[in-house]
Amino acid sequence: MAGGDWSVLTREHIFKHFYQLGPKLVGKDLTPKQIHGYFKRHAQKLAPIIVTRVSSMDVDNGYVYIGGCYEAELDMMEKPSISISLHFHPWDDVITYTQKRLKRGCILLADTLLHEIIHMRQHRRRDFVAKRDYQSNATPEKKKHEQSYMGNHDEIDAYSFNIACELHKHFGNDHDAIHRYLNTTNANAKKSPIWKWYMKTFDYDHNNPVIQKVKTKVVKYLPSAALGKPFKNNDWLIY
């Protein structure tokens, strides 16, 4: 399985790689199958990344939503285990990318890939033993499920890096401004959609242990966010 190194991929590197698709996508009327084909072929030039196509009524017409997944079972068998999913509305026959939408999508692709690479390292370093979800007592059931997922140790770690990257983009190295933002109850979602998601999910409670852990992790990840990658070495990240 040797031959590459996940740790060399930076946020900027991944973004620029996919942004190169601009001439093939922007202003063109393309089917979901064609768009999927472009991203799939281009992703495989970067690393052993699986790219899937998903049809979902949850997607707005004319848009492409992006998801990601790391599958430890495949990784244990030394098979490609990181996937990116492109979600399309089932009624969309063609989609036309604008430059702005492509840029936004490539940023999300970079953040999603780095998130899944963090999960890969987490599982490999502990010999693929899974961590338990956060035990939420929230109601209704949908909120309980969301809190259980977002309060999981692995998700806190991976999302904290994503948040640190979002905040570095807006505040640069002004860590005092970042601290003030993290301690604001009604934080601006445009500066960090993921942090806003955490705050909303945990009822804007700064005393919640999950929120406190995320804050601590975000601050810890700020130097890494400035570099655009979560790791200083390639331990457990060679393929």
Domains in the chain: how many in total?
2
Whole-number Å distance between alpha carbons of 82 and 72: 9
Domain co-membership, 160 together with 223: yes
CA 38/CA 45 separation, integer angstroms: 11
Q: Is residue 60 domain-resident?
A: yes
Examine the pLDDT at 1 and tell me if it is beyond 70.
no
Sign of the CA dihedral with 112 first, then 58, 137, and 123 last: negative
Residue range(s) defining the domain that contains residue 153: 141-227
Tens digits of residue pLDDT in 140-171: 999 999 999 999 999 999 999 999 999 999 99
For 72-106, the pLDDT digits (tens) are 999 999 999 999 999 999 999 999 999 999 999 99
12-26 residue pLDDT tens: 999 999 999 999 999
Out of 45, 64, 97, pick the residue that ends a domain.
Answer: 97
The pair phi, psi for residue 88, each rounded to 5°, is -125, 150
Q: What is the mean pLDDT of the chain?
A: 95
Same-domain pairing of 16 and 78: yes
Examine residue 105 and state whether it is found in any structural domain, yes or no. no
pLDDT tens digits, 129-138: 988 878 888 8
Let me know if residue 58 belongs to a domain.
yes
Q: Does residue 126 lie within any of the structural domains?
A: no
**Domain end residue (candidates: 70, 97, 124):** 97
Mean pLDDT on 191-214: 96
Same-domain check for residues 88 and 152: no
- Which helix (H) or strand (E) segment holds residue 36: the answer is helix 32-44
Q: Is residue 112 in some structural domain?
A: no
DSSP state of 132: P
Indicate if 81 and 154 belong to the same structural domain. no
Task: Assess if residue 132 is contained within a domain.
Answer: no
Last residue of a domain, one of 97, 125, 152: 97
User: What's the rounded Cα separation, in Å, for the pair 144 and 137?
Assistant: 6
Instruction: For the chain, give the longest Cα–Cα distance.
Output: 49
Is 34 a domain residue?
yes
Residues 81 and 164 in one domain: no
Residues with Cβ within 8 Å of 15's Cβ and at least 6 positions away in sequence, in order, are 106, 107, 109, 110
Specify if 202 maps to a domain. Answer: yes
In a shared domain, residues 80 and 145 = no
